Structure 1
Amino acid sequence: MMRKVSVLVFLAFLFAWCMKATAAEQITVKFATWHGPTSPNGLIEQELAKMLEEKTKGAVKIKFFWSESLVKYVETYRAVQTGVADMIYYVVGACPGVHILNEVVNLPFMGFPSMEKAGPIYEKLLQEIPELRAEWKGVKLFRPRFMAGSHIHTTKKQVKLPSDLKGMRLIASGPMVFTVETLGGAPVQLGMGDWYTSLERGLVEGHATHYPVILMTKTIDLLHYHLDFGPFGFYAQPDMLVMNMDTWNKLPKDFQEIIEDLCSNWRVAKILKVDMGEIEKAKTYAKQKGHTFYYATPQEVSQWKEALKPVVEKWIETAESKGLPGRKVYNEARRIIKATSGR
């Protein structure tokens, strides 16, 4: 009897030890994002997390902190640098003053040929321009991809030329504020939750943004006119996943390979496919509703480029006022983009 009890006690101890060891070996990655769990990005990130857990046999799990619940939008990058977050979703330019030189890729009409080709070209810029790489020091950067390009969507009149925007009130944020001002418009900075009602009430007359977001927010129902600049729009921003370097270095090599493949290759292919589908869905919906589309001609695009030169010059001046080689980086980026894409 005593022997049976001893065996049971030993088995209980062994089970508890195994459970403790398993818990200790399991890696939990704190993932911070401003998206909600049901957004297109949120759904893709959850699919990625599920695949990661399966491929590592449960050894690596992602714990999501949605909708700025861990850190605020503008603090996201600092959070992953300092280890407050292990991984983040990030858009170049989201955190002011962090990636000043990398924001060169956010400037209008940089010459990227398409969403699909822009990501690899940005990777080439990072490889060949050391000043860009230096701004990512201390983090693990996964493959970037560019979001859908921005076009100009308006409620009551068709915009074709820069002069058509004079005096118009457009929703704008971040770098778009000065862009709208440069074109003679009046930028209005609003939270996403205020877009629809502000357009509906006539407080603003348009939005310079991409097709998927006006479909998602249903503001497409109020934006009846669309000035389309072609496959890349007049500007777009790259996004990517970023990991804290200490977190990355602690991972076994085989787990690093799995995460690299999922966060770089799988995610980029998946999200590009989703975005392309959302662009087509938005355009089809708008056409069914009788919206007017105007496609800028090469001559008209040249007028837009000329009108937006002050935006480029201001970016260069701002960078150089901080002791950064703005003009050098801009010229080198344009050279590489042109050589790679022929534009």
Structure 2
Amino acid sequence: MKRKGYLIKGVIVLLSVLFLVGLPLQNSWGKEKEINLNLATWGPPTGAIAQGIQWYADEVVKRTGHRVKIKIFWAQSLAKQMELPHACRTGTADMVAMLPVYHPELFPFMAANMECLILWGGEIGQGIKPYRKLREEFPEVRGEFEKQNQRLLAFWEYARMDVISKKPIKGLADAQGVKMRSAGMVLSKIFKAAGFIPVTMPSTEAYDAASGGVVDALLASPETTYKFKWYEVCKYWTRTGILGSIVAYGISINLNVWNKLPTDVQEVMDRVGSELTDRYPTLLFEENKRYEKIFRDAGVKFYELPLADQEAWRKKVARSSFEDYVKKMEKTGYPNARKILQRYGELLGYKPWEYSE
């Protein structure tokens, strides 16, 4: 009898344990502790970029059953634009949406899009597959965010870059001596070769610089022009034709924060990031059409840089920009830089090393 009683008690205990173990599996999101993350970015909560960032945050919240919460700090309210990589690396921000191409010293392979491959002239959406392929083929490319104590969750493109100015620029002859807002050493070199006088500054300072006469033209995309209202002070838009749409933006997360997240949460964040990368080109294309209507309604006039000027401009800087950047990377510890960047150029269908200047 005693043995039978012990057996019954044992069965009851076993069933109780199985019930308690199985209970969280029925609703794993709801029964676990809420995870609160902050995400810092530079721009205001308007435009295609903001829509993409907000979509990412909302989808992660939804797909984790509201277990994960992401609070977005817009307009440099948590960290200044150029400080975002540092904020993520040190943990001041759990996550950031930033422009890695502005930091070739930290993210040299993504920055190559702006530093030496920007003259490829590609359209929105055409740069996604080549960059993904490059990350698959080369561990150096995959690892550059990890070196900065970050994990890249999503990336997307900057639209083709043009010039918006206070006076018409219909050809390179009109560009001579015009002071313009640029970004980075290589872009400044590219615009200097065209005859401009480049002044490097972040996009957040460009409106005041143009309205105050510090510069008379701005390196621009539809998104940044709309977001920062540059069309209020510059009424002439020149489509350059050669400054292609490039992978420039990314959402990353601090690795220490990432490593503490449950595996299922990590999987959701990775999956949503990949989906954002895929859906962003369509979002940007539709938004750019809307932006152009806003610009035209505000009195902005559009011009196309002549094809002869485009080719003459490209020949002046394509090869030297590529060679200079390769040598710079080799000196800073990337002996395979030429191999990797030539492969990237091939994936993009652009071979600057073959140009003669």
Q: TM-score range by the shorter chain?
A: 0.7 to 0.9
Contact 1:168–1:186 at 8 Å: present in 2 too?
A: yes
Which residue number in structure 2 is paired with residue 116 of structure 1? 125
Structure 2 residue aligned with 1:322, among 310, 314, 332? 332
Distance 1:136 1:200, change over 3 A: closer
Which residue number in structure 2 is paired with residue 220 of structure 1? 231
Which residue number in structure 1 is paired with residue 161 of structure 2? 150
Structure 2 residue aligned with 1:254, among 250, 257, 264? 264
5+ residue gaps, structure 1, are 1-21
Rg larger for: 2
**What displacement does 1:335 show?**
1.8
5+ residue gaps, structure 2, are 1-29, 351-357
**CA distance, structure 1, for counterparts of residue 322 and residue 174 of structure 2:** 21
Q: What letter is aligned with 2:35?
A: I
Q: What letter is aligned with 1:211?
A: P
Which residue number in structure 2 is paired with residue 64 of structure 1? 72
**What displacement does 1:38 show?**
4.6
Percent same amino acid at aligned positions?
23
| 1:146 aligned counterpart, secondary structure | strand
**CA distance, structure 2, for counterparts of residue 221 and residue 69 of structure 1:** 24
| 2:96 aligned counterpart, secondary structure | strand
Distance 1:315 1:159, change over 3 A: farther
Number of residue-to-residue matches in the alignment = 317
| 1:273 aligned counterpart, secondary structure | helix
| 1:116 aligned counterpart, secondary structure | coil
Mean Cα deviation higher: 66-75 or 298-307: 66-75
Mean Cα deviation higher: 281-290 or 24-33: 281-290
Which residue number in structure 2 is paired with residue 134 of structure 1? 143
1:287-312: CA deviation from partner (whole Å, max 9, x where unpaired): 44554433345443321211223333
Counterparts in 2 of 1:135-284, with a 5 A limit?
135-137=144-146, 138-161=149-172, 163-175=173-185, 176-190=187-201, 192=203, 194-230=205-241, 233-234=243-244, 236-265=246-275, 267-284=276-293
**CA distance, structure 2, for counterparts of residue 297 and residue 50 of structure 1:** 44
**What displacement does 1:110 show?**
4.7
TM-score by length of 1: 0.79
**CA distance, structure 2, for counterparts of residue 272 and residue 311 of structure 1:** 27
Q: What letter is aligned with 2:163?
A: I
**CA distance, structure 1, for counterparts of residue 278 and residue 287 of structure 2:** 14
Q: What letter is aligned with 2:129?
A: P
1:169-216: CA deviation from partner (whole Å, max 9, x where unpaired): 001222433332333321224454553344345442211221222223
Distance 1:133 1:53, change over 3 A: closer
Contact 2:222–2:292 at 8 Å: present in 1 too?
A: yes
Which residue number in structure 1 is paired with residue 345 of structure 2? 334
1:39-94: CA deviation from partner (whole Å, max 9, x where unpaired): 65345433433332232222111133333343333332233334333221122223
1:113-148: CA deviation from partner (whole Å, max 9, x where unpaired): 322121121111111233322312353222321121
Distance 1:222 1:79, change over 3 A: closer
Which residue number in structure 2 is paired with residue 92 of structure 1? 100
Contact 2:156–2:248 at 8 Å: present in 1 too?
A: yes
Structure 2 residue aligned with 1:305, among 309, 314, 331? 314
Distance 1:196 1:178, change over 3 A: same
**CA distance, structure 1, for counterparts of residue 204 and residue 349 of structure 2:** 39
| 1:308 aligned counterpart, secondary structure | helix
**CA distance, structure 2, for counterparts of residue 215 and residue 167 of structure 1:** 26
**CA distance, structure 1, for counterparts of residue 77 and residue 296 of structure 2:** 38
Distance 1:188 1:51, change over 3 A: same
Which residue number in structure 1 is paired with residue 302 of structure 2? 293
